Amino acid sequence: MSDTAKSFRVGLIGTGRISDIYLKNCAGFDGLDIVACGSLNMEESRAKAEAFGITEVKPPDELIADPAIDAILNLTIPAAHADVSLAALTTGKHVYSEKPFVTDLADGKRILDLAAAKGLAVGNAPDTFLGGRWQTLRKAIDQGLIGEPTGVAAFVPTAGVERHHPNPDFYYAEGGGPLLDLGPYYLAAMVFCLGPIARVCGMGRKRAEERMIENGPRHGQMMPVEVDTHSVSLLEFESGVVGQMMVSFDVWESETPRLEIYGTEGTLCIPDPDPGDGANIFQGPVWLRTRKTSRWSMRPRPQAPADWAVVPNTHGLNFDARGVGLAEMVQAIREGRTPRASGQLGLHLCEVMQGILDSASLRRFVDINSRCDRPAPLPESRQTGLNVNLGAKA
């Protein structure tokens, strides 16, 4: 856009449950306005527009074709991500998409090639690594508090989504499963902290052919399960760090930390999110123990001005800040740089996850061909006074 002071006009496609937190947060982000929304369920879209004060409701194809829209926020189901993103780029719009980036790697490459040819930006969830606890983790690593990183372990146990989601079918269809649903959060955090991944190995299993929906109007209905619901993987990073990850829809409870990073001088630990925190992993404590100490200590979060917060009296991105990746992408467009939660990162994570799935069926290690830049941490302070303005360059 030629006028850098102009607010980006964003059209949201996909008005399901995930859109609520985006609409709530984006109302407080400087530099962008969600001015229109649409989905295949227009009744749902009209209700969402009324609830959040959106003036325009259009079918997705009309929204994509609207020349007044600068960017598309793609919150459709995973199987539709690529088609919506490609259509938006074709009409000259920037795109920010929910995870996973794509369910087919060839589609991801087409998206990035088209964006490059048209000079457009592509961003992709998860943006949770921009949250306070992950920025704290990265700062501790960069300061050398654990020495040279040597290993990492992520452990993400859940009992599935059918107990709380009224329409959980797509989580268990092709393109779903715990690896593609939960894996991106922790893989993105690992790449943010340790750099890109070079080689993977995986195993998985499916607990049952059907599962029961346990809430809402469809309570008691059975749905088919097409994917593995428990996944275990080994990860070799380009830096030489080795890691492991377990993600599951089959674990009722666990006390194992969600993520630990091991170094030559100590260990960093991310415990389970606070009770009731749900999927919000932007916030929470970071624990450190080194060879010089005999106890765990909690690391202070990086300093951040109150203007990072959508919620009053919240300092830093220590709340469910989902959508901040879109705001950061808009700022990156204005500064002529790559977004931190970039399409390149999204494609790399997708290839890693596909490699884990391929490894499980091929029974061998799989090399990862894509690479992405290690995202820069957010700046710790700015002199802006703007609400959630991410204007400072790294």
Strand, helix or coil for residue 262:
strand
Measured from the Cβ of residue 269, the count of other Cβ atoms closer than 10 Å reads: 19
* pLDDT exceeds cutoff 60 at 274: no
Q: pTM for this structure?
A: 0.89
What pLDDT is stored for residue 303 in this prediction?
Answer: 53
Report pLDDT for 302: 60
pLDDT band at 385 (very low <50, low <70, confident <90, very high): very low
Conformational region of residue 44, where left means phi above 0, alpha means psi within -120 to 50, and beta covers everything else: alpha
Residue 212 has φ and ψ, to the nearest 5°, of -95, 135
Tokens 């995870």 belong to residue: 99
Q: What is the CA radius of gyration of the chain?
A: 20
* Alpha-carbon gap, residue 265 to 267, rounded angstroms: 7
pLDDT band at 3 (very low <50, low <70, confident <90, very high): very low
Task: For 19-75, write each residue's pLDDT tens digit.
Answer: 999 999 999 888 899 999 999 999 999 999 999 999 999 999 999 999 999 999 999
Residue at 375: amino acid letter: P
Average pLDDT, the chain: 88
Specify which of 1-10, 124-133, 174-183, 228-237 reaches the highest per-range mean pLDDT.
228-237
- The hierarchical CATH code for the domain 129-306 is 3.30.360.10
Residue ranges of domains in the chain = 129-306
| Residue 304 phi, psi (nearest 5) | -155, 140
Provide the pairing of β-strand 56-57 with 32-38: parallel
